[in-house]
Amino acid sequence: MKIAVAGATGLVGEMMMRVLEERRFPVTEFIPMASERSVGRSVRFNGKEYAVLTMQQGLERKPDIALFSAGGGPSLEWAPKFAAAGTTVIDNSSAWRMHEGIPLVVPEINGSILTPSDKIIANPNCSTIQMVLALNPLHQRYGIKRIVVSTYQSITGTGRKAVTQLENERQGIEGEMAYPCRIDMNIIPQVDVFMDNGYTKEEMKLVNETRKILHAPGIGITATTVRVPVVGGHSEAINVEFEKTPDLAEVRRLLETTQGIVVMDDVKQLSYPMPLHSHNRDEVFVGRIRKDESNDKAINLWVVADNLRKGAATNAVQIAELITRK
């Protein structure tokens, strides 16, 4: 099977290659692609060195599946060309997520919607994936009415430039800035650009993508997304109100029996999820499960996951695995 990775020199592209290796995906021909400025570089996959190709060169190889993590603009330009050539594109950018007829997939939740005719498949936003994976079993049981979520997002979500900025600041080195201000010893209440309604694009992704994945356009959702000087993963404080009154013991059982979820919730032992637990892990960790004292039909959750793995690369590879099985 010919597998291509677009954006192979970026953080997510590198993680995609790593996850393909770890999960022993059946790759017979590997095709790394990136922008023109990266051509000539090499990447290592399954013990071999591969020269990075342009998107056009990769297209000419006619891969069976292409994992895209090259940004929205390149995805809009190249995904239709690969799809027209018969390649199934799994795109990690926001370019196709809200397009009518393009499936937005978290395999554990809605992988069944995929068909052989789906040639462009959208990988959801990292903060959306971990939230919906935790909330889906509760939505199926109690029906979600409203979600209030605040995120605490790793700098790795911005990319290599942000990691370099943090490292430079901690060493007292002046260098290129990924953010408009210092990130070390600080938090920035902005992830992505601001929109006309005062929310950022990241906040509206949580709103719109969650409704699409859960097939629930009527859910009320409001979000505040924050960038923190952390490398290991994203954290989310979620308040969720249901149509039916939830039972905390049943909530825990539902989460404990959900594929991909690890419940870490023992406050007497000071056991709760942190990015240190999620780093380099594929599971979504859930803790601080408790009733909302101001609302009988609401609970609070603390949800943590590695944004480069389940939030991006692993989810994309899981979609590819689902495609090959189908």
**Cβ-based neighbour number of residue 182 at 10 Å:** 13
Domain check: are 24 and 87 in the same one?
Answer: yes
User: Is the pLDDT score of 194 beyond 90?
Assistant: yes
Residue 27 lies in domain: 2-124+312-325
Domain check: are 91 and 158 in the same one?
Answer: no
The helix (run of H) or strand (run of E) holding residue 131 is: helix 126-142
Domain check: are 115 and 206 in the same one?
Answer: no
Catalytic residue among 99, 181, 215, 234: 234
Q: What is the CATH number of the domain that holds 85?
A: 3.40.50.720
- Tell me what the mean pLDDT of segment 266-277 comes to: 97
Confidence of residue 308 (pLDDT cuts 50, 70, 90): very high
Longest CA pairwise span in the chain (Å): 60
Q: What is the CATH number of the domain that holds 141?
A: 3.30.360.10
- Tell me what the mean pLDDT of segment 102-131 comes to: 97
Domain check: are 289 and 316 in the same one?
Answer: no
The per-residue pLDDT of the chain, averaged, comes to 97
Give catalytic status of residue 126 as yes or no: yes
Domain check: are 113 and 132 in the same one?
Answer: no
- Tell me what the mean pLDDT of segment 10-28 comes to: 97
The C-alpha atoms of residue 7 and residue 244 are separated, in whole angstroms, by 44
Task: Quick: pLDDT tens for 64-93.
Answer: 999 999 999 999 999 999 999 999 999 999
The C-alpha atoms of residue 12 and residue 16 are separated, in whole angstroms, by 6
Total domains present in the chain: 2
Task: Quick: pLDDT tens for 206-255.
Answer: 999 999 999 999 999 999 999 999 998 999 999 999 999 999 999 999 99
Domain check: are 174 and 213 in the same one?
Answer: yes
Is the separation of the CB atoms in 68 and 79 below 8 Å?
yes
Would you state the pLDDT for residue 314?
98
In this structure, what DSSP letter does residue 16 have? H
User: Is the pLDDT score of 115 beyond 90?
Assistant: yes
The C-alpha atoms of residue 67 and residue 124 are separated, in whole angstroms, by 13
Catalytic residue among 126, 139, 277, 279: 126
Structure token digits, residue 251: 């909530």
In this structure, what DSSP letter does residue 312 have? I
User: Is the pLDDT score of 40 beyond 90?
Assistant: no
Domain check: are 69 and 112 in the same one?
Answer: yes
